[in-house]
């Protein structure tokens, strides 16, 4: 498939292993960047309150030379890193004036976690990453970088681990010019993470629930430590590592699952869920956050885009209530897990019924938007082939799964279309 002229960005994440001296330099760089951010923010607030005069990025960037003269410690930080700090503050103010939400706040050492080399000042040399003003830091390149590197972000996580993020530009893939032969609809849930329109059900690992006891015990120990003591800091790192492990487990599972779905299907249709509103339900907020639907959909989206396959998001309104066979609206409460249609007599799982409706809605949207041209007969035949009947035992096992299972999931030119 020929590549397009448009460039898209991808981010590669790698682990850094600085020695003790390099880690002290990196920590000192973060402190200096944090101080510069706070001073620049204070200058903007003071000028506005006293003189009602706005301070621009250009004006603050021109003062960096004077700052380095009066405060020689800032000569230890690469110049473009300091410029990016001021640019970050300017962006925060622009976002605030555009949305009137999230006024920039002063940063503490714990809240300021990263600094950026926007253009230059770094170079890869084998298993070493050379930073300007820092030195050669060991890096684990577990996969090659494909594309032109644009920026480098160095970030310290709460568990004191350091990572490098390379933002690269790669050619964009064109819009698929073929009709999807093997589409699938996905319905997200809590008991089963995903229910496919093919009848497969993928279980929800619930990583946070599994580690909840250990996290609670570790956080109780943290609350007993004296603030500012070394023992408290050690316990804080233990808690951060437990949270990090849960996040890594979830991310690893999502990567494997998204790769399986993209490799098996050429069109993936999902619901455009308003997860921010859903987590307001205090009875389900923890389970919804633990499921990580949004992160999973993001991984499916960019993998589908890279593979030149369709990824479609449709409105979730009515996907659960509508009958997938005759279209009759069958009201259900959250506790009702079986769809029983009084008109046509269709009886099947509530989630399976929703996934079939999601698939049908996605194919219809693609056709109406003239991105593809699928005849009505072909759309109906596709739904019949991918939607097993309620009594089909040879295709679905006792647990509601097909005999073909995703690989390694027990342990853990395309276009993104939002319709």
DSSP labels, 144-173: ---SEEEEEEEEE-TTS-EEEEEEEEEEPP
pLDDT digits over 14-59, tens only? 999 999 999 999 999 999 999 999 999 999 988 876 666 778 899 9
The helix or strand, by DSSP H or E, that contains position 347, with its residue range, turns out to be strand 347-349
For residue 305, what are the CA distances in angstroms to 175, 255, 299, 300?
9, 15, 10, 8
| Catalytic status, residue 159 | no
Distances in Å between the alpha carbon of 139 and those of 88, 160, 351, 397? 26, 15, 45, 46
Round to whole Å and give the CA distance between 391 and 347. 9
Whether pLDDT at 82 is above 50: yes
Q: 179, 271, 290, 322: which is the annotated catalytic residue?
A: 271
What are the backbone angles phi and psi of residue 196, rounded to the nearest 5°? -90, 150
Q: How many CB atoms lie within 10 A of CB 84?
A: 19
Q: pLDDT value at position 188? A: 92
What was the pLDDT predicted at 337? Answer: 86
**Closest-CA residue to 390 (of 330, 338, 342, 343):** 338
Residues contacting residue 111 through CB under 8 Å, at least 6 positions apart: none
Q: What's the DSSP call for residue 385?
A: H
- 266 flagged as catalytic: no
From 417, 384, 311, select the one nearest 376 (Cα to Cα): 384
- List the catalytic residue out of 84, 90, 179, 187: 187
Asked if residues 372 and 180 have their Cβ atoms less than 8 Å apart, the reply is yes
The per-residue pLDDT for 86 is 95
Q: Whose structure tokens read 């709460």? A: 158
The Cα–Cα gap between 47 and 81 comes to: 24
Within 10 A of 65 (CB to CB), how many other CB atoms are there? 9
Rounded Cα gap, residues 379 and 377, in angstroms: 5
Minimum mean pLDDT range among 82-91, 176-185, 186-195, 316-325: 176-185
Separation between Cα atoms, residue 349 and residue 396, nearest integer Å: 13
Give the pLDDT confidence of 93-138 residue by residue, as tens digits: 999 988 888 899 999 988 899 999 998 999 998 899 998 999 999 9
- In the block, tokens 């040879």 appear at 394
Active site residue 187: yes
DSSP three-state, residue 339 = strand
Question: Given this model, what pLDDT does residue 6 score?
Answer: 74
């Amino acid at each position: 498939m020929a590549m397009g002229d448009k460039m898209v960005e991808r981010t590669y994440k790698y682990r850094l292993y600085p020695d003790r001296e390099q880690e002290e330099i990196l920590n000192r760089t973060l402190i200096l960047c944090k101080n510069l951010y706070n001073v620049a923010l204070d200058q903007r607030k003071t000028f506005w309150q006293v003189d009602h005069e706005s301070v621009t990025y250009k004006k603050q960037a021109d003062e960096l030379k004077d700052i380095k003269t009066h405060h020689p410690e800032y000569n230890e930080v690469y110049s473009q890193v300091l410029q990016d700090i001021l640019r970050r503050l300017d962006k925060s103010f622009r976002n605030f004036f555009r949305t009137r939400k999230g006024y920039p706040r002063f940063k503490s050492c714990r809240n300021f976690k990263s600094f950026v080399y926007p253009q230059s000042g770094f170079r890869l040399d084998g298993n070493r990453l050379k930073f300007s003003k820092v030195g050669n830091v060991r890096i684990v390149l577990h996969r090659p970088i494909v594309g032109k590197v644009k920026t480098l972000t160095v970030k310290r996580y709460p568990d004191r681990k350091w990572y490098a993020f390379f933002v690269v530009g790669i050619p964009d893939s064109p819009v698929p010019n073929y009709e999807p032969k093997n589409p699938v609809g996905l319905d997200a849930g809590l008991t089963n993470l995903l229910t496919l329109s093919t009848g497969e059900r993928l279980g929800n690992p619930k990583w946070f629930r599994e580690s909840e006891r250990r996290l609670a015990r570790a956080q109780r120990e943290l609350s007993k430590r004296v603030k500012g003591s070394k023992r408290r800091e050690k316990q804080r790192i233990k808690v951060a590592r437990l949270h990090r492990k849960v996040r890594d487990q979830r991310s690893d599972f999502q990567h494997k699952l998204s790769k399986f779905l993209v490799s098996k299907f050429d069109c993936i249709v999902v619901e455009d869920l308003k997860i921010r509103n859903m987590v307001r339900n205090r009875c389900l907020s923890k389970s919804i956050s633990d499921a990580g639907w949004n992160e999973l959909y993001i991984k499916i989206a960019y993998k589908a885009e890279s593979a030149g396959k369709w990824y479609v998001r449709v409105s979730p309104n009515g996907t659960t209530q509508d009958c997938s066979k005759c279209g009759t609206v069958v009201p259900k409460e959250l506790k009702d897990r079986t769809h029983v249609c009084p008109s046509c007599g269709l009886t099947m799982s509530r989630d399976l019924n929703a996934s079939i409706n999601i698939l049908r809605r996605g194919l219809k949207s693609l056709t109406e938007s003239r991105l593809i041209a699928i005849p009505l007969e072909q759309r109906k035949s596709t739904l019949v082939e991918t939607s097993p009947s309620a009594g089909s035992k040879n295709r679905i096992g006792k647990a509601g799964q097909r005999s073909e299972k995703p690989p390694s999931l027990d342990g853990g030119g395309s276009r993104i279309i939002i319709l």
